[in-house]
Structure 1
Amino acid sequence: MAGEKRNFDTEAATWDENPARVKLAQDVARAIIGTVKPGPDMDVLDFGCGTGLLTLALQPHVRSVTAVDSSQGMLNVLKNKIRAQKIANVRTRLVDLDQGDALEGTFNLVVSSMTFHHIPDVEVLLERIAGVLTTRGWLAVADLDSDEGKFHDTHEGVFHNGFDRIVMMKYFGNAGFESVRNRTAAMIAKPSLSGEMRTFTIFLMTGKKRV
């Protein structure tokens, strides 16, 4: 299904020029805020932050955001935004789990948008995320519903053709999360490789780390 790891560094400079990406991040942020209700006492980890579209949407609502990505190019774009906007409560961190890097720190909320389908072993990642969450800390994951492999123009670095929500709920439970819920966070209309317009749905799945 997937080829080698995708090089997001080459796409970083123009990433935000796609209005659908910007809208998706806004929709996901709105769904997270409505579900988790993040507050000023929360430290957040954004896993697979990219250029920080979700990071910066959540930043005004929380104490701090640690923005993590495996692409230095993406993080550089976010760093420029942080400097330009004089944001004090966001820091970036290069973490590549495939290279043996570890998730570190302690967080009240971990968020991730459109990253899980690029992760070969989602269950291992969920266990690692649980390890950096406080007791009763929140996890909020937004990703594609099962898409028959028709969402991406290239399957480079794509390890899952979306996810079945019931299976993902089971993964959450196995990793130590309870009160697991899901909702549709966003919809994206885009042409398939054959040229026909298709609508893809993005779910938001949330859960609390068990005591």
Structure 2
Amino acid sequence: MEAKVFDQMAKQYDTEDRIQLANRILDKLKPSLLNAKDSTLLDFGCGTGLLGLPLASDYKQVFLSDDSMSMLDVANFKIKSQGKKNAKTMSISELADNKSFLVDHILLSLVLLHIPDTKSILTFLLDHLKSSGKLFIVDFIKNEKVSHPKIHNGFHLNELEKTLQSVGYKSVSSQIILEEKKVFMNEDATLFLLIAEK
């Protein structure tokens, strides 16, 4: 979906349902992020920071990046109001312009389904990972009941793993982490966590 759609949603984005889902994702994600105190994290497609901001306490520095400036405005407000000294926002274009910007971890949560060219975004993110850095993808398993012209209807894990390996990631592993009701275009959905190392 285009940034302007998310711009319009930004101020009403943090619904109780979205906050609860983010918390359930965090519970499943955190065991994979042990010993990250000296590491840096990029939350790519961060929205209002529902995942990236709570993770700031686990990292040395967290960068929140999104295509929607309105989402980043909300994230900036939260950073200030919560006194998060080690969190900062950056636009996707800032990220694209800074080839030397590298982080230890990149989080892509419920974002990949919105990006038409999966291969090119995974390559783009690989270029912003340090050597042995890790990409964490949380998204939906393919669901044939979902049909929308602007999004993928989820992913087959084996296909996504092959795509990651084809662009240069290694040691790719994945697991099912959640079964949720009515969260994917009002359909029940299965969520996975995929971890790929550079």
Query: Does residue 186 in structure 1 map to residue 178 in structure 2?
Result: yes
Aligned to 2:104: 108
Aligned to 1:8: 6
- Aligned counterparts of 2:150 and 2:136: Cα–Cα separation in 1: 22
Aligned to 2:139: 143
Per-residue CA deviation, residues 155-194 of structure 1 (Å, 9 max, x unaligned), is: 3632x1110011011111112222211112223211888x
- Alpha-carbon distance, 1:109 to partner: 0.3
Alignment coverage as a number of residue pairs:
197
Per-residue CA deviation, residues 92-120 of structure 1 (Å, 9 max, x unaligned), is: 011159xx944641100000100001111
Per-residue CA deviation, residues 19-60 of structure 1 (Å, 9 max, x unaligned), is: 221122222222222123251110111100000001012111
Q: Are the structure 2 counterparts of residues 120 and 54 from structure 1 closer, same or farther at C-alpha, using a change threshold of 3 Å? A: same
Query: Does residue 35 in structure 1 map to residue 32 in structure 2?
Result: yes
Q: How does 1:128-139 map to 2 (within 5 A)?
A: 128-139=124-135
Query: Does residue 171 in structure 1 map to residue 169 in structure 2?
Result: no
State percent identity of aligned pairs. Answer: 29
8 Å contact kept, 1:44–1:111: yes
- Aligned counterparts of 1:56 and 1:24: Cα–Cα separation in 2: 15
Q: TM-score, normalised by structure 2?
A: 0.90
Query: Does residue 90 in structure 1 map to residue 82 in structure 2?
Result: no
Q: How does 1:73-84 map to 2 (within 5 A)?
A: 73-84=70-81
8 Å contact kept, 1:142–1:205: yes
Aligned to 1:70: 67
- Aligned counterparts of 1:102 and 1:116: Cα–Cα separation in 2: 21
Letter in 2 for 1:188: E
**Which moves more between the two structures, 3-12 or 171-180?**
3-12
Look up the SS of the partner of 2:71 in the other structure.
Answer: helix
Look up the SS of the partner of 1:186 in the other structure.
Answer: strand
Per-residue CA deviation, residues 52-98 of structure 1 (Å, 9 max, x unaligned), is: 0010121110001110000011111111111111110010011159x
Query: Does residue 26 in structure 1 map to residue 23 in structure 2?
Result: yes
Q: Which runs of 4+ in 1 moved over 3 A?
A: 3-6, 100-104
- Aligned counterparts of 2:184 and 2:82: Cα–Cα separation in 1: 37
The root-mean-square deviation of aligned C-alpha atoms, in Å, is 2.4
Unaligned runs of 5+ in 2: none
8 Å contact kept, 1:103–1:128: no
